[in-house]
């Protein structure tokens, strides 16, 4: 019951947040607020430093990242893949501190850091059911916080285990009309879309064989959830695809309409989605979140692509 209440009351303050066990997090958010006042170049410098440290210390994630890059870019040299891996970790580190800008910074500042191409496709959906599909790039906060300020949306996601962290991040995102819905409350998310609003979801992670179909991703059969098709079909939503990536000035978001989606063929739909993600990853490989085991689930009878021996020695 406690977990259920957590899913339903993401934006509700609890007096328990004042307990000493949360004091370090209060301190962290105070530091994040201070960092968020710094110039972007300084914030990114700090983020790169953290990313470099994590790359050195988080051996398991480093091995997974390098293995993913080996599978997806066999044509690149080991040295080239190592550069991309380090850049991806740096991006994850930057996200940690860029959150300070998004959650606590002024809207005026954020808009200066943010550029959108294809925004007219989103504007045309004002008051109409819309589902925006995004990918797990490391600049999600900086990409979709400012975008939601221009066009309100809800994002479906997995709730953080720490309720205070979740509450604080919810407050920061709410400033931009970006509301979060637990993935345990799918009906609420779909109802929001049916009411003529915009829902946002990222479905490019491996969620296991039970709810997935296999489709090519960088030439590898990859477990992919068909929920974008079923969500769009059940709500009558227009589907847009979006990719957010870093620029020297901040972040850029590209929005593309996905006509004839869903097509009535879930297999064809997930193949199309994976191809669009792959095309954007090839354009901006350093911005993608390579740390998760995208190829963890294998078709029946196929060996793991993350053999323990290989990862141990990498």
Tens of pLDDT along 4-48? 444 455 667 888 988 899 999 999 999 999 999 999 999 999 999
- Domain containing 270 equals 2-12+21-313
Total tally of structural domains belonging to the chain: 1
Strand order in the sheet with 250-257: 114-117, 250-257, 238-247, 130-134, 198-202, 153-157, 178-182
Residues 6+ apart with CB under 8 A from 25: 162, 164, 165, 168
pLDDT digits (tens, 9 = 90+) for 107-153: 899 999 999 999 999 999 999 999 999 999 999 989 998 998 899 89
Least confident of 12-16, 22-26, 159-163, 193-197: 159-163
Mean pLDDT (the chain) is: 91
pLDDT digits (tens, 9 = 90+) for 58-76: 999 999 999 999 999 999 9
- Indicate whether 304 pLDDT > 80: yes
Q: Which residues pair with 200 in a beta bridge?
A: 132, 155
Contact 91, 138 (CB under 8 A): yes
Q: Which residues pair with 155 in a beta bridge?
A: 180, 200
Which backbone phi and psi does 115 adopt, to 5 degrees? -130, 140
How many H-runs (helices) and E-runs (strands) does the chain carry?
13, 9
């Amino acid at each position: 019951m406690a977990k259920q209440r957590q899913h339903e009351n993401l934006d509700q303050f609890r007096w328990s947040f004042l307990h000493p066990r949360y004091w370090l997090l209060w301190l962290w958010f105070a530091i994040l607020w201070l960092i968020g006042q710094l110039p972007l170049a300084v914030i990114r410098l700090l983020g790169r430093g953290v990313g470099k440290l994590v790359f050195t210390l988080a051996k398991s994630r480093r091995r997974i990242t390098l293995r993913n890059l080996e599978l997806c870019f066999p044509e690149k040299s080991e040295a080239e893949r190592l550069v991309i891996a380090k850049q991806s970790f740096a991006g994850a580190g930057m996200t940690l501190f860029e959150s300070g800008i998004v959650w606590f910074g002024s809207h005026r500042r954020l808009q200066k850091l943010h550029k959108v191409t294809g925004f007219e496709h989103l504007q045309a959906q004002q008051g109409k059911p819309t589902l925006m599909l995004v990918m797990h790039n490391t600049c999600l906060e900086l990409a979709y916080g400012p975008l939601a300020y221009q066009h309100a949306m809800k994002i479906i996601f997995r709730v953080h285990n720490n309720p205070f962290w979740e509450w604080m991040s919810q407050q920061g995102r709410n400033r931009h009309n970006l509301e979060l819905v637990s993935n345990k409350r799918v009906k609420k998310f779909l109802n929001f879309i049916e009411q003529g609003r915009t829902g946002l979801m990222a479905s490019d992670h491996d969620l296991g064989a039970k709810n997935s179909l296999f489709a090519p991703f960088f030439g590898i059969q990859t477990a992919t959830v068909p929920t974008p098709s079923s969500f769009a079909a059940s709500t009558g939503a227009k589907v847009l695809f979006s990719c957010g990536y870093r620029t020297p000035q901040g972040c850029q978001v590209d929005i593309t309409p996905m006509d004839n989606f869903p097509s009535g063929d879930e297999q064809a739909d997930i193949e199309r989605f994976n191809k669009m993600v792959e095309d954007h990853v090839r354009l901006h490989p350093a911005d993608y979140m390579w740390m998760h085991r995208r190829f963890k689930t294998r078709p029946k009878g196929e060996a793991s692509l993350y053999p323990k021996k290989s990862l141990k020695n990498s």
